[in-house]
Amino acid sequence: MATQTEALTETPVRPFDLFPVEVAAVRRLSPSFVRVTFAGEGLEHFADNGYDQRFKLIFPAPACGFDKMPTSERWYSELRALPEEEQCPVRTYTVRAVRPALREVDVDMVVHEAHGEDDCGPALRWLREAAAGDRLLLLGPDARWEGPHGGVDFHAPEGAEILVAGDETALPAIAAILEDLPITARGKAFVEVPEAADAMALDAPEDVEVVWLAREGAPWGELLVPAVTEAARGMDFAVTDQFDEVDDEMIWEVPQEAAQSDAYVWIAAETGVVKTLRFTIRKELGLPKESGAFMGYWRNGRAWD
């Protein structure tokens, strides 16, 4: 079994690959958000695909750090075959910014209040003590790969009115999406955050309205669901009567190529909230499956990360 301690450069180029990194800086953006800048010798090859590019942060295993971390294409199954204390925790995040020339990648992470150890996963525990020099692994898109990398789920057709919405876990993706939209884009973006002080300046096209919804102790989705529903009712959907039920545990409905239409919807938040909005927008309002992405980024009642 190949491990992280062996030369990663000897492996063939793949769409996603491992990048050893160190923390270069940790900066508080708001009460609920921290920006971590990672630096590493190989990050000049980390692909800058924009939009909501997903990647994975890999944290050291309790017993052995990264010494047993597999690097083959079957890395995940090999990792799960290890004893639990030798398994590196893996969590999914959105790329916030890539600076290949500086060999840096920015990641915005949520710092939430944990209600006991069961609500505090490995990412939150690591983030609370994160400091310059800390070592992690990034599993992300390799620019040397000539084909598509995957991991980008925003596929709005040109000219469509857009509706983008999510809670704090989706803010990094929403911010990156808005930055990458053409200046002619039009629509609305809704972001539900824990408190008003979490609102921050986002670089959105002039005709894309950004609406901040501060919960201030309200349940997740209490503000997001009615606001997004009202906005969706005002959009021009190519109505369809096709609707598929989804699994009770999760939802990840993402067409890889959106159909040409006058409207496009992208929603990422707590799973129950996403299911509610999907039911309204897809079943009641008739948005075609090919014209929207609905993603449960996390599930209430489980460790946040």
Q: What is the DSSP string of 15-72?
A: SEEEEEEEEEEEEEEETTEEEEEEE-TTGGGB----TT-EEEEEPPBTTTBTTT-B-S
Give the pLDDT confidence score for residue 115 in this predicted structure: 47
Give the pLDDT confidence score for residue 166 in this predicted structure: 98
Counting every residue written for the chain, the total comes to 305
The secondary element (H helix, E strand) that includes residue 297 is: strand 292-298
Q: Is 187 helix (H, G, I), strand (E, B) or coil?
A: strand
Q: Which residues contact 254 (CB under 8 A, 6 or more apart)?
A: 153, 293, 294, 295
- Entry pTM: 0.92
CA torsion angle for 280, 281, 286, 288 (degrees, to 10)?
-140
CA distance 155 to 200: 25
Domains in the chain with CATH codes? 8-141 (2.40.30.10), 161-298 (3.40.50.80)
Under 8 Å between Cβ of 80 and 87:
yes
In DSSP terms, 296 is beta-bridged to 269
Under 8 Å between Cβ of 228 and 276:
no
CA distance 98 to 135: 18
What are the 10-residue block averages of pLDDT along the chain, 305 residues in total? 50 90 97 97 96 97 93 92 94 97 97 62 91 96 95 94 98 98 97 98 97 96 98 90 76 84 95 96 92 93 61
What's 89's DSSP letter? P
Taking residue 150's Cβ as centre, other Cβ atoms within 10 Å add up to 13
Taking each helix axis from N to C end, the angle separating 271-278 and 224-233, rounded to the nearest 10 degrees, works out to: 20
Give the pLDDT confidence score for residue 241 in this predicted structure: 75
Burial class (CB in 10 A: 0-12, 13-18, 19+), 239: exposed
Under 8 Å between Cβ of 174 and 166:
yes
Residue owning tokens 């990398």: 149
Give the pLDDT confidence score for residue 246 in this predicted structure: 77
